[in-house]
Amino acid sequence: MGFFRMGAGVAKRRLFYFLVALLITTAGVYLMHDGSMNPTLVSMGRFSLFNRTLTTIPPQPPIPEPVACIFPYVDIFDPNIMKLAGLDQTPLKCDHDFLPDVTRMDGLVLRVNSSKLKGDLRLRYCRYRNITRQPYKDHSVVYSRWSRKFTKEVKLTDEHEFFQVACYDGKYKNRVVSKAFYSLVPKNKHLESLFNMRIMKRAAEFNPLETLNIVGVALDGLPRHQMIRAMPKTYTHLTERLGSFDFQTHGQVADNTFPNILALLSGFTRAEVNKWWSWKNPEDVFDLLWHDFERAGYRTLYSEDNPRGAGFYWGNRSFMFPQTSYWNRPLELAMLNEPGFIRRKASCAGPRPVAEYQLDYMTRFLDRFPDKPVAGVTFIINLTHDDSTKAVTIDEHIRNFYGTLEAKGHLNRSVVMFFSDHGQRWGKIRQTYNGVVESRNPFLILTFPDWFLKKYPDIARTLRTNTQRLTTHFDTRQTLIDLMYFKGQEPTPPHRGRHGISLFREIPASRTCEAASIPWDQCLCGQGVEKFLDTNSSEAKALAEALLRAVQSRSEPAQCETYRLDQLLQVGALSLPTAWTKEKKRFMVASVRLTVQPGGAMFEATVNMNLNTNETSVGSKIERLNMYKGEVECRPTSLEQMFCYCKGNKEMLKQ
Ligand SMILES: *[C@@H]1O[C@H](CO)[C@@H](O)[C@H](O)[C@H]1NC(C)=O
Ligand SMILES: *[C@@H]1O[C@H](CO)[C@@H](O)[C@H](O)[C@H]1NC(C)=O
Ligand SMILES: *[C@@H]1O[C@H](CO)[C@@H](O)[C@H](O)[C@H]1NC(C)=O
Ligand SMILES: *[C@@H]1O[C@H](CO)[C@@H](O)[C@H](O)[C@H]1NC(C)=O
Ligand SMILES: *[C@@H]1O[C@H](CO)[C@@H](O)[C@H](O)[C@H]1NC(C)=O
Ligand SMILES: *[C@@H]1O[C@H](CO)[C@@H](O)[C@H](O)[C@H]1NC(C)=O
Ligand SMILES: *[C@@H]1O[C@H](CO)[C@@H](O)[C@H](O)[C@H]1NC(C)=O
Ligand SMILES: *[C@@H]1O[C@H](CO)[C@@H](O)[C@H](O)[C@H]1NC(C)=O
């Protein structure tokens, strides 16, 4: 209740924060213009910001209202970036280079249509087998025996969940003419009554005003700007037709998936978790948000399409138990086990895009419980993880998914979140100035039913305001908790977790990265390059050497080659983040980018230099801007691989 009473005290405090922010910004700029640095600075106009071949100089940011956090302004449709955005790609299709699928599910009947077979292929019979999770094991599955043969159809029961179908040729007996994998959403009769009881308990204890489904669709590593460029059908549908909320200054809490998804689903930062958890332990201890939804009577679903990597599985981590009622991992593993089924870097599974399996699974889940609350997230990982331009190829699929939800009435009882975990970490766009900014700006688009926004106009207004405020997935998480026990703008039952503010409450305009739990090296507020150093200057060289030493110190000398500096690409002196200006010493914070040999790895990091003593220190995060494959396999973990060029590498021998 008291939360939203905004007295004069708050307003005064806000003004104070604004003035402080202004003062700090001015001080920062002053520091950067301090004479002692001038000899080596060259003007911004001569050298473009992060890539000399790009001539774009970011225009001054529009300052509509006194917010503490202003992202550096970059043009989403910058012509130079548009060239790199992959917009000429066509929608993803997977059926032209795979066996046709002659089966389809019709309710609970698996039907065969052999006229889809091409050429002289004839159908002899089909059969199926069940796929289940091996108890307590997240990395293996158990297959049932093959079913008896059928040629037209087979009636399945309400208990079938994941299964595989194979159909055989009439002439060559062992020749498979069609392969398919299905995931159904069985009702667990045993659990039904338990869930129903929990819903009654929730109603009795908290009397929530509304009960909305939660539907999440995530794309890995896709920056907001690239989503807008690459997915115009989806984006215009959401913003223009469905009146969705596009959170424009959404920040990330780290540059890879795990910590960001941890923020969303566990409420902890990576550092907090590291205090009591190690990678060798099962991940069940995170007590993910799904458990809270289940306790409140929601059926839950979580699916990821890359069983060997991504969110919770990178580095062979695992859960002891499935974390949601519907957990598609056995199916994903079985598809991977089937030779040749997963193709094109896992964007295709058999004759269909992997994303279609994911989205269909979600739709089936919603269809299954039309009058019971459900909460689910499906994470489409492999498509965009390595290459954000691939988002272009799935625009239509996502747009159609919203169409299906609407046609089936699901949109009218769900909050749909379309989001990414973090920005792009590599690739051509990332190597431009725009790319640096975009790399820290994932997207979050929330779609609410029309009636909900009309019924709660204050919430609609607050959401609209918050689209311009600094947000993270810690906030997304708090919003989901609010939805679990929805009370309008009144607080919901207290919940563990120190981070985040529900998007149903106004995010303070004075919010800084620190307040939003964004580490300073991921912070975009007020950041930007003030000046470029001449890469020939002694300062630039000292900074580059510091970075090279830091890279080398992370490389395993017995197995990796010693790196030498290839090219110092650019050294940009940054405007100082707020926290730094507290120190009165004269120092310079620079973003340094260089390439090394052998291997041509490109690294970037923030390097600090004390201008009185010339001492340097390299920020905790060194980023590698190009991919590392085929040269690093001698090291076991991705972290070590980033900093290694393996001795005796074939590529090198060729040279
Ligand atoms: C079987 O497949 C053919 C070719 O794709 C199609 O024309 C036909 O309508 C299908 N029949 C049924 C019953 O779905
Ligand atoms: C597949 O699983 C279902 C549900 O448990 C069961 O009824 C069916 O007999 C199984 N089929 C095979 C071929 O084992
Ligand atoms: C992954 O972990 C499982 C146990 O959870 C283990 O059996 C398996 O050998 C591990 N795989 C790799 C590649 O380390
Ligand atoms: C997904 O992408 C990664 C990285 O390119 C690749 O190693 C992997 O084989 C792909 N497919 C799956 C199913 O993991
Ligand atoms: C959507 O839901 C609201 C509230 O439950 C209901 O009044 C309205 O009729 C529904 N609209 C459609 C098109 O189903
Ligand atoms: C700059 O961008 C151009 C054009 O995309 C690219 O060819 C070049 O490799 C980039 N250079 C650096 C240093 O990032
Ligand atoms: C840096 O020095 C080299 C060699 O002395 C010279 O060729 C190059 O033009 C210089 N670069 C700049 C940007 O001054
Ligand atoms: C720091 O470096 C500059 C330029 O290379 C040099 O003139 C100065 O003497 C150095 N200061 C110290 C304390 O080493």
Place 247 in a pLDDT band, splitting at 50, 70 and 90.
very high
Tell me the per-residue pLDDT of 410-468, one tens digit each, with 9 for 90 and over: 999 999 999 999 998 888 887 776 777 888 999 999 999 999 999 999 999 999 999 99
| Top mutation candidate among 536, 567, 568 for ligand 7, by most atoms within 8 Å of CB | 536
**Amino acid residing at 123:** L
Q: How confident is the model over 137-151, as a mean pLDDT?
A: 94
Q: Determine whether the shortest distance from the Cβ of 342 to ligand 4 is under 6 A.
A: yes
Phi, psi of 73 (to 5 degrees): -80, 125
pLDDT above 90 (res 55): no
539's tokens: 């300062």
How many Å apart are CA 29 and CA 575, to the nearest integer? 7
Higher local confidence (pLDDT), 377 or 255: 377
Residue 481 contacts residue 292 (beta carbons within 8 Å): yes
Most confident of 22-26, 172-176, 648-652: 172-176
Q: Determine whether the shortest distance from the Cβ of 116 to ligand 1 is under 6 A.
A: yes
Return the exposure string of 613-651: e unless at least 16 CB atoms fall within 10 Å of the residue's CB, then b: eeebebbeebbbbbebeebbebbeeeebbbbbbbeebee
Place 76 in a pLDDT band, splitting at 50, 70 and 90.
confident
pLDDT at 246: 97
Q: Is 391 helix (H, G, I), strand (E, B) or coil?
A: helix
pLDDT above 90 (res 45): no
pLDDT at 412: 97
Nearest protein Cα to ligand 5, atom 1: 412
Q: Determine whether the shortest distance from the Cβ of 566 to ligand 7 is under 6 A.
A: no
**DSSP string covering 28-77:** HHHHHT-GGGGGGEE-TTTS-SS-TT----PPPPP--S--S--PPP--TT
pLDDT at 67: 59
Higher local confidence (pLDDT), 600 or 495: 600
Rg (CA), the chain: 27
Nearest protein Cα to ligand 8, atom 1: 614
How many Å apart are CA 165 and CA 110, to the nearest integer? 10
Higher local confidence (pLDDT), 414 or 76: 414
User: Measuring CA to CA, which residue among 262, 263, 379, 275 is closest to residue 327?
Assistant: 379
Q: Is 479 helix (H, G, I), strand (E, B) or coil?
A: helix
Q: Determine whether the shortest distance from the Cβ of 455 to ligand 5 is under 6 A.
A: no
The pTM score is 0.75
Mean pLDDT check: name the lowest of 162-176, 197-211, 255-269, 635-649.
Answer: 635-649
How many Å apart are CA 489 and CA 504, to the nearest integer? 6
Average pLDDT, the chain: 84
Directed axis angle between helix 473-484 and helix 257-265, to 10°?
Answer: 30
User: Measuring CA to CA, which residue among 224, 236, 421, 400 is closest to residue 310?
Assistant: 421
How many Å apart are CA 614 and CA 611, to the nearest integer? 5
Residue 119 Rama label (left phi>0; alpha psi -120 to 50; beta): left
pLDDT above 50 (res 1): no
Cβ-count burial of 97 within 10 angstroms (0-12 exposed, 13-18 middle, 19+ buried)? exposed
How many Å apart are CA 628 and CA 202, to the nearest integer? 49
| Top mutation candidate among 586, 614, 616 for ligand 8, by most atoms within 8 Å of CB | 614
The β-bridge partners of 442 are 223
pLDDT at 73: 66
555's tokens: 């490389």
Tell me the per-residue pLDDT of 591-632, one tens digit each, with 9 for 90 and over: 888 999 988 888 988 888 888 888 888 876 788 887 776 677
26's tokens: 């001015």
Ligand 4 centroid – CA 387 distance (Å): 12
Tell me the per-residue pLDDT of 312-348, one tens digit each, with 9 for 90 and over: 888 888 899 999 999 999 999 999 999 999 998 889 9
Half-sphere CA count of 573, side-chain side, radius 13 A = 26
- Which ligand has an atom closest to residue 47 CA? 7
Q: How confident is the model over 545-566, as a mean pLDDT?
A: 93
Place 166 in a pLDDT band, splitting at 50, 70 and 90.
very high
279's tokens: 């990678």
Mean pLDDT check: name the lowest of 19-28, 157-166, 207-216, 631-640.
Answer: 19-28
Residue 214 contacts residue 293 (beta carbons within 8 Å): yes
Phi, psi of 332 (to 5 degrees): -60, -40
Most confident of 172-176, 202-206, 244-248, 623-627: 244-248
Tell me the per-residue pLDDT of 222-237, one tens digit each, with 9 for 90 and over: 999 999 999 999 999 9
How many Å apart are CA 120 and CA 22, to the nearest integer? 76
Q: Determine whether the shortest distance from the Cβ of 345 to ligand 4 is under 6 A.
A: yes
Q: Which residues contact 65 (CB under 8 A, 6 or more apart)?
A: 468, 509
List of long-range contacts for 492-499, beta carbons under 8 Å, 24+ apart: 492/206, 493/206, 495/267, 495/292, 496/267, 497/267, 497/268, 498/267, 499/263, 499/267, 499/268, 499/269, 499/472, 499/474
Mean pLDDT check: name the lowest of 98-107, 177-186, 575-584.
Answer: 575-584
344's tokens: 């094109």
Most confident of 146-160, 277-291, 506-520: 146-160
163's enclosing H/E stretch is strand 162-169
pLDDT at 652: 47
Higher local confidence (pLDDT), 467 or 531: 467
185's tokens: 């959403």
pLDDT at 520: 76
Q: Determine whether the shortest distance from the Cβ of 56 to ligand 1 is under 6 A.
A: no
Mean pLDDT check: name the lowest of 10-24, 306-320, 522-536, 639-653.
Answer: 10-24
Q: Which residues contact 88 (CB under 8 A, 6 or more apart)?
A: none
User: Measuring CA to CA, which residue among 323, 310, 215 is closest to residue 266?
Assistant: 323
Tell me the per-residue pLDDT of 117-138, one tens digit each, with 9 for 90 and over: 887 788 999 999 999 999 988 8
Residue 559 contacts residue 638 (beta carbons within 8 Å): no
**Amino acid residing at 2:** G
pLDDT at 528: 64
Of the chain, the percentage scoring pLDDT greater than 70 comes to: 85
| Strand residue runs (E) in 207-340 | 213-219, 245-246, 299-304, 326-327
User: Measuring CA to CA, which residue among 612, 535, 575, 539 is closest to residue 33?
Assistant: 575
The CA-based diameter of the chain, rounded to the nearest angstrom, is 85
User: Measuring CA to CA, which residue among 302, 292, 299 is closest to residue 496?
Assistant: 292
How many Å apart are CA 634 and CA 559, to the nearest integer? 7
Ligand 6 centroid – CA 53 distance (Å): 6
pLDDT above 90 (res 153): yes
Q: CA distances (Å), 461 to each of 326, 465, 556, in order?
A: 35, 6, 54
pLDDT above 60 (res 162): yes
Q: CA distances (Å), 375 to each of 17, 269, 289, 395, 484, in order?
A: 38, 23, 10, 23, 9
Place 177 in a pLDDT band, splitting at 50, 70 and 90.
very high
315's enclosing H/E stretch is none
Mean pLDDT check: name the lowest of 6-20, 33-47, 129-143.
Answer: 33-47
pLDDT at 72: 72
Alpha helix stretches (DSSP H) within 59-209: 79-82, 189-206
Mean pLDDT check: name the lowest of 2-16, 85-99, 241-255.
Answer: 2-16
Ligand 7 centroid – CA 615 distance (Å): 25
pLDDT at 529: 67
Tell me the per-residue pLDDT of 356-407, one tens digit each, with 9 for 90 and over: 999 999 999 999 999 999 999 999 999 998 899 999 999 999 999 999 999 9
Of the chain, the percentage scoring pLDDT greater than 90 comes to: 56
pLDDT at 620: 64
pLDDT above 50 (res 38): no
How many Å apart are CA 655 and CA 647, to the nearest integer? 14
* 535 Cα nearest atom in ligand 7: 13
Place 52 in a pLDDT band, splitting at 50, 70 and 90.
very low
Return the exposure string of 239-253: e unless at least 16 CB atoms fall within 10 Å of the residue's CB, then b: eeebebbbbbbbbbb
Residue 578 contacts residue 526 (beta carbons within 8 Å): yes
Ligand 6 residue neighbourhood (C-beta within 6 Å): 51, 53, 428, 431, 569
CATH superfamily of 212-317+325-518: Alkaline Phosphatase, subunit A (3.40.720.10)
Residue 384 contacts residue 421 (beta carbons within 8 Å): no
Residue 127 contacts residue 72 (beta carbons within 8 Å): no
pLDDT at 492: 74
How many Å apart are CA 598 and CA 562, to the nearest integer? 8
Higher local confidence (pLDDT), 490 or 355: 355
